[in-house]
Amino acid sequence: MAAELLSPDAEVSERACAAVGKLLDAARRANRRALRAQRRAARPDADTKRTARLEQRITQLRAVRDRLDGQVSTLSAENAELRSTIDNLDGELEQLRRHLDVAYARMDRVQTERDEALRQAERAAPRVSVGADLSVSVRVLGGGTEIGGSCVLITGGGTRLLVDAGTRPSGVDEDSLAPADIAEVYAEPPDAIVVTHAHNDHAGWVPALVNRFPNLPVFASTATCDLLGTMWADSAKVLAFKADTDESWAGGPLPPYKQSDVDAAVAALIDVPVGHPRRVGALSFELFDAGHIIGATGVVVTAGDQRVVVSGDVSGPGQLSVGGLHLPDAGVGADLLLLESTYAGAGKLPPREAVIDQFVSDVDRILGAGGRVLVPAFALGRAQEIALICGRHLPDAEVLVDGMARDLSHAYRRHDGPDGERVQVFSGRVRPVEPGRTRREIADKRPCVVVATSGMLSGGPAVGWAREILTEPESGLMVVGYQDADSPGSRLLGLAAAGGGRFDLPGMNEPIEVSAHIGNYRLGAHASEDDLVKIAAEARPQTLMLVHGRLAAQRRFADRLRLRQQKVILADRPWSS
């Protein structure tokens, strides 16, 4: 190769140079391959790296697993301890159940023995020897020739039994709120009170009496006992408000009672099941279902061989929330029947079903036109009945229940209706207006039915609703209950009958223009005059005294009853045997 490179022949020398260049290129390539191989050998390959990473991850996961295993072991131990505790508690609970069963059985035996003792005492009561000498007197202290302040004093054998002690709806101070002749009770305290039902015109003055006579027992039916606390608490709030704001109360001993008196009256309540006689001194009494509202009863008072029946407020069948009057055998042929006469002189009333159909039709028409319907209703009885009617006949309509009616409607769930099932006022699209949301609901203009207190538009959330709804031409206000002659509700009906105009609502500075439809529907919870005639015929009392009505109407109704050979007297004078 060297000779060729040095050859004088240029061609040979050129070939030799080219060969040398190729050899140098090959050497360089070989050197580069060797260097790459050396570098590869000096570092771990990718598989080795992945393997190392996986081994590290596995080590970490094993550590996590071990930690979790430790926690599981701890939790298992705690769970075992909890199970042991629960098993112990179950054992204690079962033991308590057995003790309660024994206690209830003992209570049942005591109740049975007590009832049997009462029956034996009643059978042993000297009806013949004492009854002939036992004179009974009845005096109506309130609610005789007016509606409100109902109060009846029955005296026999030295025992004074008061049936009801209500307030008068038009009362503006203590004297005008209380039963008219309550002073007779103050002079000589009664031995007990029997409350026929929870409406204020029959029960609203009871806390004031308990305040005056702390040991006075108050008897009522199960449902009435349940409702009275709510009714009395609301009355105490109203009385406190009047004491602070009403000038007509200034300077008097106000309020007549407060919440502490309500608490005392609730504590004095004694639940008396319907049909179970109870004795108070020389007298005994028995409650019977009267219809009207849930829990309402009449009273049969027995003194020796004489009987006095106080009807309370009564109604016939047809309501969704309560059944009708059920007069017991003891209520037939009594010496005296005090019969309510609220609807005496009201003329012949249309059938209840027809009134409901008209009410439902009118409400449906207003809702269909995009309006709202306000139904001012008494918090107890009427409000629940209207809500149930709407829920049954207008299932697609939204129905709101506002004010104290909301709270009392919740209580209805604890008591049976005429079908024997618990009364569920809130179901479907019938719902309560939650406390504090009334203004928001009023501002929402969506079509709905609003059932709100008070029934005479004298206060409560119904006034706030009326302030808006009465100005809406597409909306309506439906009156469904009794309106006192001086009440805002009565004035509104008079305005509508006169063709409309401007109307003053309580608490407003200036009148509003009434543009809404005003309806009046006889959906009351009192017996019609025809029903009262039937009740008198069924009861067949020796003497019938009309109470709880207006004097002029009572006189006309008394003449009608006398034509049927019934002896009738009015409540303006006492009765005695």
Which 3-state string (H, E, C) describes 65-118? Answer: HHHHHHHHHHHHHHHHHHHHHHHHHHHHHHHHHHHHHHHHHHHHHHHHHHHHHH
In a shared domain, residues 514 and 570:
no
Domain assignment present for 129: no
When pLDDT is averaged across residues 131-149 and rounded to a whole number, the result is 87
Domain assignment present for 219: yes
In a shared domain, residues 205 and 313:
yes
**pLDDT value at 37 more than 90:** no
Domain assignment present for 81: yes
Domain assignment present for 480: yes
pLDDT of 249: 56
- Residues paired with 306 in a beta bridge: 303
In a shared domain, residues 222 and 327:
yes
In a shared domain, residues 150 and 219:
yes
Contact 452, 463 (CB under 8 A): no
pLDDT of 97: 52
Contact 132, 154 (CB under 8 A): no
Domain assignment present for 146: yes
Torsion 550-551-557-558 (CA) sign: positive
**pLDDT value at 42 more than 80:** no
pTM for the model stands at: 0.76
When pLDDT is averaged across residues 102-109 and rounded to a whole number, the result is 54
- Per mean pLDDT, which range of 68-77, 158-167, 202-211, 321-330 is the poorest? 68-77
In a shared domain, residues 184 and 326:
yes
Domain assignment present for 226: yes
pLDDT mean across residues, the chain = 88
Contact 289, 297 (CB under 8 A): yes
Among 503, 520, 537, residue at a domain's last position: 520
In a shared domain, residues 451 and 548:
no
pLDDT of 96: 61
513-526 confidence digits (pLDDT tens): 999 999 999 998 99
pLDDT of 81: 77
Domain assignment present for 201: yes
Q: How confident is the model at residue 25 (pLDDT cuts 50, 70, 90)?
A: confident
**pLDDT value at 238 more than 80:** yes
Domain count across the chain: 4
Tokens linked to 370? 């995009």
Domain assignment present for 131: no
Please report which helix (H) or strand (E) contains residue 438, including its range: helix 438-443
Determine the distance from the C-alpha atom of residue 202 to the mean position of all C-alpha atoms in its chain, rounded to a whole number. 19
CATH number of the CATH domain containing 380: 3.40.50.10890
When pLDDT is averaged across residues 68-79 and rounded to a whole number, the result is 78
Among 124, 150, 180, residue at a domain's last position: 124
> What share of the chain has pLDDT > 90, as a percent?
68
When pLDDT is averaged across residues 60-71 and rounded to a whole number, the result is 83
How many beta carbons lie within 10 A of that of residue 534, not counting itself? 13
Q: What is the DSSP string of 502-531?
A: EEPPTT-SS-EE--SEEEE----SS-BHHH
In a shared domain, residues 553 and 458:
no
In a shared domain, residues 307 and 444:
no
429-475 confidence digits (pLDDT tens): 999 999 999 999 999 999 999 999 999 999 999 999 999 999 999 99
538-577 confidence digits (pLDDT tens): 999 999 999 999 999 999 999 999 999 999 999 999 999 8
In a shared domain, residues 392 and 308:
no
pLDDT of 126: 42
Q: How confident is the model at residue 496 (pLDDT cuts 50, 70, 90)?
A: very high
In a shared domain, residues 162 and 274:
yes
Domain residues for 56? 44-124
When pLDDT is averaged across residues 284-292 and rounded to a whole number, the result is 98
When pLDDT is averaged across residues 296-319 and rounded to a whole number, the result is 95
In a shared domain, residues 174 and 266:
yes
When pLDDT is averaged across residues 151-168 and rounded to a whole number, the result is 98
Among 124, 151, 181, residue at a domain's last position: 124
In a shared domain, residues 172 and 236:
yes
pLDDT of 156: 97
